[in-house]
Every structure is written in C-alpha cells, then in structure tokens.
Amino acid sequence: MTTKAEADAAPVILWFRRDLRLADNPALNHAVATGRPVIPVYILDGAGDGRARGEASLWWLDKSLRALSAALSERGAPLVLRRGDSEGQIRRLISETGADTVFMNRLFEPYAWARDRDIAHALTDDGVECRGFNGSLMSPPGSVLTGAGGPYKVFTPFKNALLARAEPPPHTTGPRSIATVSGLDSDDIDAWGLHPRRPDWLGGFDWTPGEAAAVEALHAFTGGPLKTYSVGRDHPAEVGGSRLSAHLHWGELHPWRVIQAVRKAADEGRAPPAEADKFIAEIAWREFSAHLLHAFPQITDRAFRPEYDAFPWLDDNAGFTAWTRGLTGYPIVDAGMRQLWATGWMHNRVRMIVASFLVKDLLIDWRRGEAWFWDTLVDADLANNVQNWQWVAGSGADASPFFRIFNPTAQGERFDRSGDYVRRWVPELKALPPKWIHAPWAAPSEVLRDARVRLGHDYPRPIVDHAQARDRALAALKAIANSKYDD
C-alpha cells in the first residue's frame, strides 16, 4: 500500500521503449516498488534505432502502443505519449512533474545504447537518478564472454555458455494498480500517423500486436507446432514455428517467459525435450545477434569479415526491383517476397533462400536486401536482420560460407514439395503440378498450356540462369583480396 508520504514524493518516470508489456517488466516493477507515483511515457523519437523505422514496424508499434495504453489505463496510469528528441521530452516531463528518477529497460543497439548513456550522464549531472534494467534478453551483452574475456564469435560455444550461465528471473504478472500523476498532456496517437494510409500497402496484415495477443500466440505454439518444431519450422506451407518474432522484438513478451513455457511443455510431456531444445537454440540465436552487434557496432554497415567489404557487388537495379516485387522467375523466391509484402513477415527458410538469391545469384550487396527487410518486416530487428544477412552473405561471424550457394529450385522442391506455399503466394502458377511448380521454365509446353501459364506474360522467365549465376558468384568470391575461401 502506498503511504501519503510516498504518494507526495517526487514521481518516477517510466520510459517505455521496446518493452511494451506489464508482465516480467523489471523497470515497471522497480518503479512501482518505490511506492511513488509512476509516469509511464512513450516517446516517438524519429531517430529510432539510429535509422528511421520501417513502415511495417511502425504499423506494429501503433497497435502495440494502443494495447499497452489500454492496459495501463485499466491500472490507473494512462500512457503519456510524446514526440520528439528523447532527452528533450524527458526533461520536459521532469519540469512539468518534478520527477527526480527515470527508469527504463535498456536497449543494446549501438545508437540507442550511446544515446541512453549520454542522457543518463546528463540527467545524473542535474541530480536526476537514471536506472536501466535488462528487460529484453536472457542475459545482457557483456555477461557471456569467452575464457579470454572477449565476446564469442562462434554460435555453439556462445549458446552453451549462455544456457549454463543465464538464470530465469521469477515470473511477475505486473501490478494491478499504478499510482500516477494526472492531467499530463499526451499526444493523440492517431495524429502520429503510424499506420500508413496512402497507399495502405499494409491492408492485408493479419497480426494482433500487444501483450495479450503475444501470450495467446505463445500458448498456441506450445500447444501445437512445438511438438514437431525441428521439422515443421522448415516447411513454409505449414505453421511450424512460433511466429513470436515481432512480439519479442517489441518486448511484448520477455524471452525467459517464452523459454519457461517451452520447458514446461517438455516437462509435462506435451512436447519432446529435443524439440524444446531446438526452439531454445533459436532464441539463443537472437541473443547471439544482440551480443554480437553490441560488441561489434560497425556490422550494421560493414562486413564482420573485413575482406568482404571489397566484394565486387553489382549495381543491378532491375534485378533488385524484380526481387522486391517477387518477379524473379524463381517461384520460391517470388512467393517469399510476396508473402513479405502482403503480411510483413516471411518464413525463416524462405528468408534464407531469398537472401541467398539476392546476394549470390544477383550479386547485389546484402545491405540493400537488409534495408528492404528493415522497411517491410513487422519483426525488423537491427541485430537479427544484420546478423542474418551477413550470415547468408558469408561475411558474418560464424556465417554460412559464401561458396555454399542455395539452388532455389532444389530448395523449393525440398521444403515445399507439394508446391502449396508457391500456389498461395504466386497464384498465376496455381494450376501447375508439383513436379513443375518450382521450375516452370522446364515444364513441357502442354503442361504450361493446361495450367494457363504463358512464360514471359503471366509469369516471368528466370532473370538469371542459376548455374551461370553460381559460377559468376564463385568467380567474384575469388576476387576478394586475401579471401580465405576457394571453391
């Protein structure tokens, strides 16, 4: 119970960022535990993560903030929305309310990390207490180090060290009521225009952002696809994975909560332990990405392996446009790119296929692909996106070697054997039988005629010949000075 003295004490500003939840939220728990009034605020700062946020991301943010705002209002402390430079807005709130403390869950991306540190120093100099907590990772960067005291550059030993070291904090449900300061100005979220209307290219998005929906998605996963995750996750026509990536990115769930739910399902015999382990390893990739980016901030723009910065990328704008529009003539690639455009999300296996196609078949710089994903993914996450693009490009830490070049036809035949995924996203090919759906250019003319596919009219011919593109890519690889690889 809050005493009168506590309620009269200077309020605490609770700065929400990518921790848009009430459960398992250390900054919120600590703020409420002070017994002082808590002012929850979200600041729309155009600087985002150091680069402007993509439109799909903002679409998610819009809905997630509305959900958080409703949950906070129910507990008596409406979310204050402010727009502008973060430090300026925090200072404005301090002068309006007399707050002398700011609590936040930390962000670990290079730009946000440096900005938060500068703000904390400046406010501390002015007598304001600033405290950061870890609300987004199993273990914060800097806490999982090699025997020599440096960051891990290889995934498996990192994962082993992480799982051996990191301890789940106790689950907390979040406060039932929150004392606050009333009467503060708050922006109208509609006026922020986060949901792009013209053109409303996100009209087909079928997601429910917010903490309650995230918890439901977690239960749906542990009660279903988890059982066969290791195989199901590779088949894009099925719901084989959790689809939790955007919920995790925006902090609608703590990763420990996800892991504990998965472990519980295994302990109770609802899923084989090996499936739970495989899933937890993917969450560990998320951690690995965050730790890597924190330790090597240059990798947002430069290759982790510096020799790849000299790679002879092609300036192929026509190829890039065909890729973004899902018109490359390779059905699995086109299906993935269209799924991304239509839903703001793409299946992981297909992300690897389309990324490999861009970088190796078209020889287009991975940074262009990364930027496209950044704008179009609802789960766009700087660390995960950069790490995975560099993994595919062969330039990252513990990356897939460049000379391992995915054959898009073989990948389609292996992981979308029935062709159902392609049929769903490339409807002009829907009448093709499974035998030809991943290689329509090779189909006999009567098969194409029966399926009403006129190559070059209804569906493009391949924009590159994969076998030739492969040879070209391997030749380009040789051009890298001091390359460690040969084919």
CB of 80 to ligand FAD, least distance (A): 28
Is residue 286 a contact point for ligand FAD (CB under 6 A)? Answer: yes
Candidate list 53, 75, 351, 438; residue touching ligand FAD; CB under 6 A = 351
Is residue 271 a contact point for ligand FAD (CB under 6 A)? Answer: no
Q: Where are the alpha helices (DSSP H) in 326-419?
A: 331-343, 348-356, 366-376, 382-393, 408-415
Is the Cβ of residue 385 or residue 411 nearer to ligand FAD in the bound state?
A: 385
Is residue 389 a contact point for ligand FAD (CB under 6 A)? Answer: yes
The burial class, CB within 10 Å (0-12 / 13-18 / 19+), for 41 is buried
What is the spatial distance between Cα 256 and Cα 89, in angstroms, rounded to a whole number?
A: 31
Per CB under 6 A, contacts with ligand FAD among 315-334 are none
- The candidate with the shortest Cα–Cα distance to 341, out of 316, 378, 385, is 378
| Range in contact with ligand FAD (rule: CB under 6 A) among 169-177, 187-195, 385-393, 425-433 | 385-393
Candidate list 29, 388, 409, 411; residue touching ligand FAD; CB under 6 A = 388
Candidate list 29, 289, 324, 390; residue touching ligand FAD; CB under 6 A = 289
Among this protein's residues, is 60 annotated catalytic? no
Catalytic residue among 348, 407, 413, 441: 348
- Interface with ligand FAD: number of residues (CB under 6 A): 27
What is the spatial distance between Cα 365 and Cα 487, in angstroms, rounded to a whole number?
A: 20
Is residue 282 a contact point for ligand FAD (CB under 6 A)? Answer: yes
Is residue 384 a contact point for ligand FAD (CB under 6 A)? Answer: yes
Is residue 379 a contact point for ligand FAD (CB under 6 A)? Answer: yes
Is residue 385 a contact point for ligand FAD (CB under 6 A)? Answer: yes
**Structure token digits, residue 412:** 């389609």
Candidate list 392, 451, 453, 463; residue touching ligand FAD; CB under 6 A = 392
What is the spatial distance between Cα 419 and Cα 217, in angstroms, rounded to a whole number?
A: 27
Catalytic residue among 192, 201, 285, 441: 285
Catalytic residue among 192, 201, 313, 441: 313
Residue 351, number of CB atoms within 10 A of its CB: 22
CB of 249 to ligand FAD, least distance (A): 6
Is residue 159 a contact point for ligand FAD (CB under 6 A)? Answer: no
Among this protein's residues, is 425 annotated catalytic? no
Strands 129-133, 38-44: pairing kind? unpaired
Among this protein's residues, is 105 annotated catalytic? no
Q: How far is CA 11 from CA 14, 122, 296, in A?
A: 9, 19, 37
Among this protein's residues, is 238 annotated catalytic? no
| Range in contact with ligand FAD (rule: CB under 6 A) among 52-60, 349-357, 404-412, 452-460 | 349-357
Candidate list 166, 218, 352, 397; residue touching ligand FAD; CB under 6 A = 352
Torsion of CA 106, 31, 138, 275, to 10 degrees: -130
Is residue 57 a contact point for ligand FAD (CB under 6 A)? Answer: no
**What string of DSSP letters covers 163-200?**
HHH--PPPP----S------S-----HHHH--S--TT-
Identify whether the C-beta of residue 242 lies closer than 8 Å to the C-beta of residue 233.
Answer: no
Catalytic residue among 59, 250, 374, 389: 389
Is residue 441 a contact point for ligand FAD (CB under 6 A)? Answer: no
What is the spatial distance between Cα 469 and Cα 361, in angstroms, rounded to a whole number?
A: 5
* Adjacent-strand bridge partners of 104: 15, 132
What is the spatial distance between Cα 334 and Cα 322, in angstroms, rounded to a whole number?
A: 9
Is residue 395 a contact point for ligand FAD (CB under 6 A)? Answer: no
Which position's Cβ is nearest ligand FAD?
Answer: 241
Is the Cβ of residue 181 or residue 473 nearer to ligand FAD in the bound state?
A: 473
Per CB under 6 A, contacts with ligand FAD among 235-264 are 241-245, 248-249
Among this protein's residues, is 348 annotated catalytic? yes
Q: How far is CA 134 from the centre of its chain?
A: 18
| Range in contact with ligand FAD (rule: CB under 6 A) among 304-312, 384-392, 399-407, 431-439 | 384-392
Instruction: Give the helix/strand (H/E) hosting 255.
Output: helix 255-267
Identify whether the C-beta of residue 2 lies closer than 8 Å to the C-beta of residue 177.
Answer: no
CB of 230 to ligand FAD, least distance (A): 10
What is the spatial distance between Cα 371 and Cα 386, in angstroms, rounded to a whole number?
A: 9
Residues with a catalytic annotation lie at: 282, 285, 313, 348, 366, 389
User: Interface with ligand FAD by CB under 6 A: which residues?
Assistant: 233, 241-245, 248-249, 282-283, 285-286, 289, 348, 351-352, 355, 373, 377, 379-381, 384-385, 388-389, 392
